């Protein structure tokens, strides 16, 4: 039976257009009886109603407010550490002693305790306010003291002059403190009452203009009477605390007392007993302790002596004829002495769990040593060389291989020799002309000495001629590097292939491959490297948050740390008045690695700073000396090295230093010949990554001698034929954007024939880029002595204060 089949010309009507989506009815018909697939996710997202969302936001806001209030109540209370306040006078006319005396006598019911710490200060007990205060002071010219005390201070009180606000030394101190990170601060004016009533309003207006630059919108308080001091204490107690990133995840301590006990083996090394309040996080006895400016040490044990500054001690009333002063009962004093004799040991270090002081890897000189090849390997290498050395020649039929070695291809050799002779003759003519021109130019040029100005004998006696010459040479090098970046002259006495043998050419600096493990220096065998630094950092921070205290090393407790292996110079510096600040290290923070920091040049300093010059670093809680490298801050895998610290861009500083987990602030100082420290740059810690490649670029320049359509003869880039052949594979470029290659050398004086992608201009310059990876110098030194203080009589490093 025949079946009808429609042909190709059958009419096909268009389907009905029901929009870009299926209708609800069609979707229900298609999915009739089916159940939707449940999507499994790690985080269950609950869709809250608008009322629930508002309620949840209120709960979060309430929790944050309660956390802030709890922090305020805990700080300075009987269960927490005393509220540590640092007084910094920003003007030479401010009386620091008067300010301390006003705070000491602010409350008649308060009990000022004696000086217990290395730095000048006192403890103030206020039972009525239910607060304990510890006041310390530092002059703005004492740079290390101010920065060390600011690392552990809960609040900073800046004392200003009513007319000028701050002087040049105070402004320099503020620049350093802002770069390191400011905790909670307050501003107080001293001496407003001494001004005439008519001048007080004008002085406040001028001072408010000055404060807008540094402290916009902050409130000014007075500090002239005891009533002003009470208001100031209430302001400090009710302020919201600002947190510093580098101390929030670590426990730290300001030492009130420090006793050095020499060891039996040597009197120069012993045990240092540091007593103070635990702050920040809970203290772990098995972790290392870093004493700022002195190094890393191990803790042997932690004791719990009696709190020397209790908020509510037992007292007896004095007689009516005497002042209403609070006196500690003699019986309580005897009990305190008995407790000192019988001190409770909280916890001792576990040798199995205690972290090691090892900071460097001891490299094995035999590691990676190649074994002597066997006879089979030597025979294979010889056979391979023979195969490569074979040359195919046309010889008469029946010629043996020995006879073929003596047959010379005369046609090819003669033509090549003729071409070389012609090129040599042309190149010699060119070089003779150029030599005559160069001699003429040398005869015409001469050095010109500028006229001397009128000299002052007393002024000249203060100038160091050698330092002036060195600084002038630095300025010249910096100016040349700005005008001709990375350009160097090819040496005439040494072959370029020898002088630049460690350099290589790259097709593209951004995309060309470069192995980060290639040709590493010997110092890289001494450092540590993380497989994944960011993952390790997150894991350690999570462990710190979830860690449970061992023993009773809670925050706010007064404890005594037995620190082992401390040199006697640490105790001597404390006795001389220098403050002792200690930070507990996180895991791996004692190990050496390569630190990368992003810094920007400080605007008040214009002195040229060359790469690999020794600098003084304040990185987080550490202070050390090192010789850094400077490189561009880019997102590529290779970063171009900079010969000088540029003033207009952010650069990356690379140094060998102990591992520090970011975030952490960074300050760079340079020590002057007179012992002062000048602030050079400020920034933050970027990463700990030894694989970050810093590539030094070197540019060789040549000049076109003869220009054809797309070819040119270039001279003065090299000065012998062998160098031209050595660098022939490297690509050329010009300052006007042309690209090309070396085709062949001409003669024996370094002339070369080059091809480009377009015709050159006569005023253009031919360049060749060469690259080499560079590494920082290992000059790490954790000990940095106290610098010579700045004074107002001497000019601060490029800082001026505009008081108008």
Phi, psi of 469 (to 5 degrees): -65, -40
Query: Would you call 774 helix, strand, or coil by DSSP?
Result: strand
Please say if the pLDDT value at position 752 is more than 60.
yes
- The predicted model gives 505-523 an average pLDDT of 90
Taking alpha carbons only, the member of 659, 655, 649 closest to residue 612 is 655
Band (pLDDT 50/70/90 cuts) for residue 451 is: very low
Q: Domain ranges in the chain? A: 73-243, 487-512+696-771, 522-534+590-694
pLDDT at residue 125, as a whole number: 84
Options 1.10.8.60, 2.40.30.10, 2.40.50.140, 2.60.120.330; which CATH number does 522-534+590-694 get? Answer: 2.40.30.10
- Which among 73-82, 106-115, 516-525 has the top mean pLDDT? 516-525
Contacts of 41 (CB under 8 A, 6+ apart): none
Options 3.40.50.1000, 2.40.10.190, 1.10.20.140, 4.10.1240.10; which CATH number does 487-512+696-771 get? Answer: 2.40.10.190
The encoded tokens of residue 203 equal 């002085």
pLDDT at residue 436, as a whole number: 44
Min mean pLDDT across 17-31, 340-354, 392-406 is at: 392-406
pLDDT of 230-282, one tens digit each? 888 888 888 888 888 888 888 999 998 889 998 888 888 999 999 999 988 88
Of 500 and 551, the structure prediction assigns the larger pLDDT to 500
pLDDT of 102-115, one tens digit each? 888 776 656 665 55
Please say if the pLDDT value at position 178 is more than 50.
yes
Q: Which residues pair with 669 in a beta bridge?
A: 616, 679
Instruction: Identify whether the C-beta of residue 667 lies closer than 8 Å to the C-beta of residue 617.
Output: yes
Of 87 and 46, the structure prediction assigns the larger pLDDT to 87
pLDDT of 543-582, one tens digit each? 888 876 665 467 888 899 999 989 998 888 888 888 899 9
pLDDT at residue 661, as a whole number: 92
Please say if the pLDDT value at position 62 is more than 70.
yes
Superfamily of domain covering 73-243: P-loop containing nucleotide triphosphate hydrolases (3.40.50.300)
pTM of the entire structure?
Answer: 0.73
Of 788 and 328, the structure prediction assigns the larger pLDDT to 788
Taking alpha carbons only, the member of 648, 618, 607, 613 closest to residue 629 is 613
Min mean pLDDT across 8-12, 56-60, 195-199, 535-539 is at: 195-199
Please say if the pLDDT value at position 420 is more than 70.
no
Of 447 and 781, the structure prediction assigns the larger pLDDT to 781
CA distances from 761 to 70, 432, 706, 730 (A): 75, 23, 10, 21
Min mean pLDDT across 136-140, 586-590, 787-791 is at: 787-791
Instruction: Identify whether the C-beta of residue 705 lies closer than 8 Å to the C-beta of residue 429.
Output: no
pLDDT of 629-641, one tens digit each? 999 999 889 999 9
Percentage of residues of the chain with pLDDT beyond 70: 77
- The predicted model gives 18-23 an average pLDDT of 67
Please say if the pLDDT value at position 77 is more than 90.
no
- The predicted model gives 400-422 an average pLDDT of 52
pLDDT of 305-326, one tens digit each? 888 888 776 544 444 443 433 4
Q: Which residues pair with 754 in a beta bridge?
A: 712, 742
The encoded tokens of residue 217 equal 């919108």
């Amino acid at each position: 039976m025949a079946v009808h089949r429609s042909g190709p010309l059958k009419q096909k009507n268009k389907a009905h257009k029901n929009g870009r989506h299926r209708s609800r009815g069609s979707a229900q018909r298609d999915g009739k009886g089916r159940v939707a697939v449940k999507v499994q996710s790690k985080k269950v997202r609950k869709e809250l109603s608008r009322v629930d969302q508002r309620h949840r936001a209120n709960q979060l806001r309430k929790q944050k407010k309660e956390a802030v209030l709890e922090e305020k109540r805990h700080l300075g209370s009987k269960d927490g550490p005393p509220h540590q306040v640092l007084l910094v006078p920003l003007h030479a006319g401010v009386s620091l002693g008067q300010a301390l005396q006003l705070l000491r006598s602010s409350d008649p019911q308060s009990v000022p305790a004696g000086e217990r710490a290395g730095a000048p200060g006192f403890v103030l007990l206020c039972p009525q306010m239910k607060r304990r205060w510890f006041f310390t002071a530092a002059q703005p010219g004492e740079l290390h003291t101010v920065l060390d005390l600011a690392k552990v201070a809960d609040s900073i009180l800046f004392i200003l002059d009513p007319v000028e606000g701050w002087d040049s030394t105070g402004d320099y101190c503020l620049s350093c403190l802002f770069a390191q990170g400011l905790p909670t601060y307050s501003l107080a004016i001293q001496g407003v009452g001494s001004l005439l009533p008519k001048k007080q309003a004008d002085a406040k207006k001028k001072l408010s203009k000055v404060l807008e630059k540094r402290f916009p919108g902050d409130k000014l308080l007075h500090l002239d009477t005891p009533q002003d001091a009470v208001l100031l204490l209430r302001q400090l107690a009710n302020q919201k605390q600002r947190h510093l990133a580098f101390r929030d995840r670590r426990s730290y301590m300001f030492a009130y007392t420090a006793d050095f006990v020499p060891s039996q083996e040597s009197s120069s090394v012993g045990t240092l007993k540091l007593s103070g309040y635990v702050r920040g996080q809970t203290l772990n006895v098995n972790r290392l302790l870093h004493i700022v400016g002195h190094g890393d040490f191990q803790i042997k044990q932690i004791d719990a002596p009696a709190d020397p500054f209790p908020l509510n001690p037992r007292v007896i009333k004095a007689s009516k004829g005497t002042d209403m002063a609070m006196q500690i009962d003699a019986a309580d004093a005897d009990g305190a002495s008995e407790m000192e004799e019988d001190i409770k040991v909280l916890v001792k270090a576990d040798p199995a769990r205690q972290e090691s002081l090892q900071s460097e890897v001891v490299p094995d000189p035999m590691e990676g040593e190649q074994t002597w090849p066997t006879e089979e390997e030597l025979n294979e290498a010889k056979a391979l060389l023979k195969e490569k050395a074979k040359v195919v020649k046309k010889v008469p039929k029946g010629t043996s291989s020995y006879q073929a070695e003596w047959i010379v291809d005369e046609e090819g050799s003669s033509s090549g020799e003729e071409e070389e002779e012609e090129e040599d003759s042309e190149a010699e003519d060119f070089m003779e002309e150029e030599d005559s021109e160069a001699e003429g130019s040398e005869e015409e040029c001469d050095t010109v000495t500028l006229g001397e100005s009128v000299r002052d004998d007393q002024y000249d006696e203060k100038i160091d001629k050698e330092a002036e010459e060195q600084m002038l040479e630095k300025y010249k090098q910096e100016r040349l590097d700005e005008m001709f970046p990375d350009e160097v002259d090819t040496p005439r006495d040494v072959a370029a292939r020898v002088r630049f043998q460690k350099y290589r050419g790259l097709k593209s600096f951004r995309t060309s491959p470069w192995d980060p493990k290639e040709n590493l220096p010997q110092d890289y065998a001494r450092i540590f490297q993380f497989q994944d630094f960011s993952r390790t950092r997150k894991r350690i921070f999570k462990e710190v948050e979830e860690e449970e205290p061992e023993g009773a090393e809670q925050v706010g407790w007064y404890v005594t740390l037995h620190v082992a292996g401390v040199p006697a110079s640490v105790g001597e510096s404390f006795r001389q008045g220098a403050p002792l600040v200690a930070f507990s290290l996180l895991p791996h923070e004692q190990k050496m690695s390569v630190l990368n920091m992003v810094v920007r040049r400080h605007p008040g300093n214009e002195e040229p700073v060359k790469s690999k010059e020794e600098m003084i670093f304040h990185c987080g809680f550490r202070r050390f000396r090192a010789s850094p490298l400077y490189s561009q801050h880019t997102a590529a895998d290779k970063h171009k090295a900079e010969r000088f610290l540029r003033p207009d861009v952010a650069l990356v500083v690379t140094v060998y230093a102990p591992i520090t987990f970011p975030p952490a602030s960074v300050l760079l100082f340079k020590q002057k010949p007179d012992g002062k420290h000048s602030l050079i740059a400020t920034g933050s810690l970027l990463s700990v990554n030894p694989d970050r490649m810093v590539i030094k670029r070197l540019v060789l320049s040549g000049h076109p001698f003869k220009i054809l359509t797309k070819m040119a003869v270039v001279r003065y880039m090299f000065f012998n034929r062998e160098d031209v052949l050595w660098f022939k594979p490297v690509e050329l470029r010009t300052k006007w954007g042309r690209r090309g290659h070396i085709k062949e050398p001409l003669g024996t004086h370094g002339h070369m024939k080059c091809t480009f992608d377009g015709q050159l201009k006569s005023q253009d310059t031919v360049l060749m880029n060469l690259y080499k990876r560079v590494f920082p110098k290992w000059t790490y030194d954790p000990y940095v002595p106290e610098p010579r203080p700045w004074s107002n009589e001497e000019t601060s490093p490029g800082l001026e204060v505009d008081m108008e």
